[in-house]
Amino acid sequence: MNSHSSPPAKHSLVGQNLRLARAKWGPGLSNTIEHALRDLSERFGLSVAAGDLLLIDERWYVTHSGLLRLATRRHCAGIDVTAITELCDPSSSRWAFKATVYKSPTCKGFVGHGDADPSNVSPLVRGAEMRVAETRAVNRALRKAYGIGICSVEEIGSLPARSQPEANVRKLPPQSTNGQPKLRDQLCLLIRQHRLDASLVKQYAAEFCDTQDLRAANREQIQSFITHLGELAEKDRDGLLCKLNSYDQKPEAGAA
């Protein structure tokens, strides 16, 4: 049986991905972006709804979960990961790994290397450099094995602050006054301004407020999260997107 999607299934996925991409990142996506999305949908069966792809700075990035799903669909025989001990320094949180992907039992293997240290990871994942390095190695080996030319989102570190147009996005007033929008409205405004996924932001808020159900968070906790989210979206939006994407496969916290 052919492990690849049938033509009707591919056509359906292309349409679904285009509709969701326009809803998440705006209806004015360029022809180049949409053409690339069609190609990724048809060739690899990557799904926007499943969190396989992210659009950052008008470029598509594949996610770790998307690569693993692709490997499963293509009946990957196994992945071997080992630390490169001579390049690792736990005391300074510097790690390097080698990953080998075996597409079949007779495959000689596709090798990828990944490294991470505090200088090339987002502040959101500081302290988890070992896992980041391992993930990067696996991602690179999987991309090489299946011929995926776009970078994975986990391979990018903390990128410089946004250029002038995005840096000047209107800020929310820091204090609450009688004329200040409600907290819910403030959060919705941030989500729209920075084109974030509302359901993932909600899960991040629940974790930030240390509560299973966001409705249990008090006003001060939610205000603190809104301030944190606004600052992070302007200073390190790419790191924020990586953080939000980590919730794709987690059950959502209680509805607000």
Q: Summarize pLDDT for 172-227 with one digit per residue, the tens.
A: 344 444 444 577 778 887 887 777 888 888 888 888 888 887 778 888 888 888 88
**Is 221 in a helix, a strand, or coil?**
helix
Own/partner contacts of 225-233, CB < 8 Å, gap of 24 or more, are 226/172, 226/183, 226/186, 226/187, 226/190, 227/174, 229/187, 229/190, 229/201, 229/204, 229/205, 230/171, 230/172, 230/190, 232/124, 233/190, 233/193, 233/194, 233/196
Topology adopted by domain 72-155: Double Stranded RNA Binding Domain (3.30.160)
Identify the pLDDT of residue 177: 42
Burial bucket for residue 182 (CB in 10 Å: 0-12, 13-18, 19+): exposed
Identify the pLDDT of residue 181: 56
Residues in the chain: 256
Alpha-carbon span 245 to 240, nearest angstrom: 8
Tens place of pLDDT for every residue, the chain, 256 residues? 444 544 456 679 999 999 999 998 887 789 999 999 999 999 999 999 999 999 988 899 999 999 999 999 999 999 999 999 999 999 999 999 999 999 999 999 999 999 999 988 887 788 889 999 999 999 999 999 999 999 999 998 754 444 333 333 334 344 444 444 577 778 887 887 777 888 888 888 888 888 887 778 888 888 888 888 888 888 887 788 888 887 765 544 444 4
Identify the pLDDT of residue 35: 96
**Backbone phi, then psi, for 181, in 5-degree steps?**
-60, 155
Identify the pLDDT of residue 248: 63
pTM of the complete model: 0.64
Identify the pLDDT of residue 65: 94
Own/partner contacts of 3-11, CB < 8 Å, gap of 24 or more, are 3/73, 3/74, 3/75, 4/45, 4/73, 5/45, 10/41, 10/42, 10/45
CB 60 within 8 A of CB 33: yes
Alpha helices in the chain, H assignment, sequence order: 7-25, 31-44, 64-73, 129-146, 164-167, 183-193, 198-208, 219-235, 237-245
> What residues does each domain of the chain span?
7-59, 72-155, 164-245
